[in-house]
A and B are shown apart, each in its own frame.
Chain A
Amino acid sequence: MRNTALSGTDEFGAPLQLVAQSLPPSWRLLKTPGAGAVSLRAPDGTTARLAVLGRRKLEPKDVMALRVASKDALRGTLVTAPFLSPRTRQLLTEAGANYADASGNVRLAVDRPGIFVEREGAQKDPEPGRGPRPLASLKGPAAARVVRALCDFRPPYGVRRLAEIAETAPASASRVVGLLEREALIERGPQDEIREVDWAGLLQRWIQDYQFLSSNNVTTFLDPRGLPSFPTKLRNVKTRAVVTGSLAAVRRAPVASPRLAAVYVDDPEAAAKALALRPAESGGNVALVRPLDPVAFARSWVDEGIRYAALSQVAADLLTSPGRGPSEGEELIAWMKKNTDAWRA
């Protein structure tokens, strides 16, 4: 029996074409006779067979099902779909599966013959209308409240109880929970209660739609006396002020000395006056932030007379901040994973 090299328009479709194009020179992707498999041939003639699992649509929760169906033997498979979201790809990678989508997202990790290829394509579905369910988003205040509550409070609880603690309408809570369930970030129990929350995954999913600088209303000011003396002023200020960003993270995680103070306040102009800050054309070192939603103030904690935002909020803010923010966010999340009891109720 002969294998045929993939070329031109092919019944395997665009994803496999992309895999073939992603290979190093003199590697080949070949159709194997019979359906549902390809083989990968190295220059020295060794080959690996990969079962192709073609899907018209694959959501994160479907990866779980795939894992179960294949008895966790996804290592020898190549999953293809028109589009695979970042979360889907992450779960496929964790399951050891190879994948390719039509937008150019490709991952191929085979031990024998040894090859590793990873390419990034689209992060958002170029044709979102394709699937049966429209992809909801975690933009907006209601999502922020529900996400924060799911992070800050350990399940189990039902959607109604979640809505209460998130101080949001049960219908909004239910919509957000539906999205998160599809994305395999929460697990429901037999009574439909929320049983498990992947809070770290949830934060990563939230920041696809929530951005510290653009979701909130941020104004930058200069404290000409420098950051070391800024906390003293915060201690004495009468208005509500809750610190986020590096200045908060540094209380818990190993983070280099902060260069920007970020503070949630109700009225940035009034707070700037109370804190003796000046409008900054350049060189601003204090960001006063009117939050997307008052949830940014919720479940704050006090250390040495200064009020800090909840760590789930701080982490999301850092992950979407410029400069060293994202790596500081990762440091903080690492600390939060090791010290869940210290911050999760």
Chain B
Amino acid sequence: MPGAPDSLYIKAREVLLDALEALGPHRSSLVLVGAQAIYLHTGEADIAVAPFTTDADVIIDPDGLSDHPIIGEALRAAGFLLSDQPGQWVKDDARVDLMVPEAVAGAGSRGARLGPHGNHAARKARGLEGALVDHEMREIVSLQEGGRRFELLVAGPAALLVSKLHKLAERIGEPSRVRDKDALDILRLLRGVSTEVLAERLRALREDPRCATVTTEALQHLERLFARPEAAGSTFASRAAAGLEPEDTIRASCAALTEELLRAFAAR
């Protein structure tokens, strides 16, 4: 994304900052995941596709989450509305999705069980467990001059890779532009982060009981979807980058970096 970020992207960042401000003391229990977290690691100019995401994905670590303020009340007071889906908070056409990794989300099928915060403030999601382990403190800064800034945990590249692979595997049958973009986000991570760092952090995820299973599954998805130039994930990524890089280059890059990562992961 060369030059100035577009206005939608600036607004999405403001809405995320609104939510972080409203959630006050809960901020230390939150981890930013999803595309906004990926761009923090890879930069936005690596593959020149304007990130058109206007939603922010945030997970809540229920372990140590305090009872006050009540999440729903705080967000409503800041102008957010809950959509028909648990955890999907909307303001000014931008979205903040609050999620709890399935492994720590308690019983129930969709809404996460969060005690006094109820069953609708956040929803359960599979594949995000790694963000509980692989994360680092970053500053989330307004894209407007002189705007707000908050410190927030941001999921690390290995956790993001695992979650994107789960998302892609779930969406594999849906013909959608979103799915192609998920595949390109995976390539962004493979390209933007050194193979050694990714492999080491993936090994750490595999050793934590909260995320060992999703990590092993994610690596199986990676091999199935990206290890060959003609595999489905490589194809999706090449489509999302159409017109910017030759299709064959994207396909070959997916296969080469996947092979490199799987080999480095297995090396110890």
Which of chain A's residues have a CB closer than 8 A to the CB of B253? 222, 224-226, 283
Which of chain B's residues have a CB closer than 8 A to the CB of A284? 249, 252
Contact status of A226 and B256, CB under 8 A, knowing A283-B229, A283-B249, A283-B250:
no
Chain A residues with CB under 8 Å of chain B are: 222, 224-229, 257, 259, 278, 280-285
Could you list 12 further interchain pairs (A-B, Cβ under 8 angstroms) beyond the known A282-B252, A283-B247? A222-B249, A222-B256, A224-B256, A226-B245, A228-B48, A259-B245, A281-B252, A282-B229, A282-B248, A283-B251, A283-B253, A285-B249
A-B contact count (CB 8 A): 54
Contact A285 B246 (CB under 8 A): yes
- Whether B78 sits at the interface, judged by CB under 8 Å, is no
- Whether B178 sits at the interface, judged by CB under 8 Å, is no
Nearest chain A CB to B193 CB, angstrom units: 10
Contact B229 A226 (CB under 8 A): no
Distance A222 CA – B245 CA, assembled complex (angstroms):
13
Contact status of A229 and B46, CB under 8 A, knowing A222-B256, A224-B257:
yes
Chain B residues with CB under 8 Å of chain A are: 45-48, 190-192, 229, 244-253, 256-257, 260
Contact A226 B46 (CB under 8 A): yes
Which of chain B's residues have a CB closer than 8 A to the CB of A229? 46, 191
Closest 7 CB pairs of A and B: A283-B248, A283-B252, A224-B256, A224-B253, A283-B249, A225-B191, A282-B248
Q: Is the interface of A mostly helix, strand, loop or mixed?
A: loop
Which of chain A's residues have a CB closer than 8 A to the CB of B47? 226, 228
Contact status of A226 and B191, CB under 8 A, knowing A257-B48, A259-B245, A285-B246:
yes
Nearest chain B CB to A323 CB, angstrom units: 10
Residue ID in chain B nearest A223 by CB atoms:
B253
Q: Contacting B46 at CB < 8 Å: which of A228, A282, A285?
A: A228
Nearest chain B CB to A245 CB, angstrom units: 15
Contact A225 B246 (CB under 8 A): no
Which of chain B's residues have a CB closer than 8 A to the CB of A257? 48, 244
Which of chain B's residues have a CB closer than 8 A to the CB of A225? 191-192, 253, 257
Distance A228 CA – B45 CA, assembled complex (angstroms):
8
Distance A285 CA – B191 CA, assembled complex (angstroms):
14
Which of chain A's residues have a CB closer than 8 A to the CB of B191? 224-226, 229
Nearest chain A CB to B256 CB, angstrom units: 4
Which of chain A's residues have a CB closer than 8 A to the CB of B46? 226, 228-229
Residue ID in chain B nearest A285 by CB atoms:
B249
Write 29 A-B pairs (CB below 8 A) sorted by A numbering.
A222-B253, A222-B256, A224-B190, A224-B191, A224-B256, A224-B257, A225-B257, A226-B47, A226-B191, A226-B253, A227-B245, A228-B45, A228-B46, A229-B191, A257-B48, A259-B245, A281-B252, A282-B229, A282-B251, A283-B246, A283-B247, A283-B248, A283-B249, A283-B250, A283-B251, A283-B253, A284-B249, A285-B245, A285-B249
Distance A225 CA – B190 CA, assembled complex (angstroms):
8
Residue ID in chain A nearest B256 by CB atoms:
A224
Distance A222 CA – B249 CA, assembled complex (angstroms):
7
Residue ID in chain A nearest B258 by CB atoms:
A224
Distance A278 CA – B249 CA, assembled complex (angstroms):
12
Contact A224 B45 (CB under 8 A): no
Residue ID in chain B nearest A280 by CB atoms:
B252
Distance A20 CA – B48 CA, assembled complex (angstroms):
55
Contact B246 A224 (CB under 8 A): no
Which of chain B's residues have a CB closer than 8 A to the CB of A228? 45-48
Distance A257 CA – B46 CA, assembled complex (angstroms):
12
Which of chain B's residues have a CB closer than 8 A to the CB of A227? 245
Most buried by A among B248, B250, B260: B248
Residue ID in chain B nearest A323 by CB atoms:
B246
Which of chain B's residues have a CB closer than 8 A to the CB of A283? 229, 246-253
Distance A281 CA – B230 CA, assembled complex (angstroms):
13
Residue ID in chain A nearest B247 by CB atoms:
A283
Distance A259 CA – B244 CA, assembled complex (angstroms):
8
Which of chain B's residues have a CB closer than 8 A to the CB of A224? 190-191, 252-253, 256-257, 260
Which of chain A's residues have a CB closer than 8 A to the CB of B260? 224
Distance A282 CA – B48 CA, assembled complex (angstroms):
22
Distance A284 CA – B260 CA, assembled complex (angstroms):
17
Distance A281 CA – B251 CA, assembled complex (angstroms):
11
Which of chain B's residues have a CB closer than 8 A to the CB of A222? 249, 252-253, 256
Nearest chain B CB to A281 CB, angstrom units: 8
Residue ID in chain B nearest A226 by CB atoms:
B191
Distance A88 CA – B191 CA, assembled complex (angstroms):
52
Distance A225 CA – B246 CA, assembled complex (angstroms):
14
Distance A174 CA – B251 CA, assembled complex (angstroms):
51
Distance A282 CA – B246 CA, assembled complex (angstroms):
10
Residue ID in chain A nearest B260 by CB atoms:
A224
Nearest chain A CB to B267 CB, angstrom units: 17
Which of chain B's residues have a CB closer than 8 A to the CB of A226? 46-47, 191, 245, 249, 253
Which of chain A's residues have a CB closer than 8 A to the CB of B249? 222, 226, 259, 283-285
Distance A278 CA – B253 CA, assembled complex (angstroms):
10
Distance A259 CA – B242 CA, assembled complex (angstroms):
12
Distance A281 CA – B45 CA, assembled complex (angstroms):
27
Which of chain B's residues have a CB closer than 8 A to the CB of A259? 245-246, 249
Nearest chain B CB to A114 CB, angstrom units: 43
Residue ID in chain A nearest B253 by CB atoms:
A224
